Amino acid sequence: MSPLQVPPNCDLTLGMVCLDKSEPGRTVWSMRADERFANTAGILQGGFLGAFADSAMGASAVTFARRAAGGSAESRKVHVANAEMKTSFLRPVPVGSDLTCEAVVVSGGERVAFCEATITDEQGRLVGRASSTYVISPRP
Q: How far apart are CA 110 and CA 106, in angstroms?
A: 14
Q: How confident is the model at residue 76 (pLDDT cuts 50, 70, 90)?
A: confident
Domain ranges of the chain: 9-138
- Whether the pLDDT of residue 73 is over 80: the answer is no
pLDDT-wise least confident of 46-55, 74-83, 120-129: 74-83
- Assigned CATH topology for domain 9-138: Thiol Ester Dehydrase; Chain A (3.10.129)
Q: List the beta bridge partners of residue 117.
A: 103, 130
Q: How far apart are CA 102 and CA 119, in angstroms?
A: 7
Which of 34, 36, 31 minimizes the C-alpha distance to 119?
A: 31
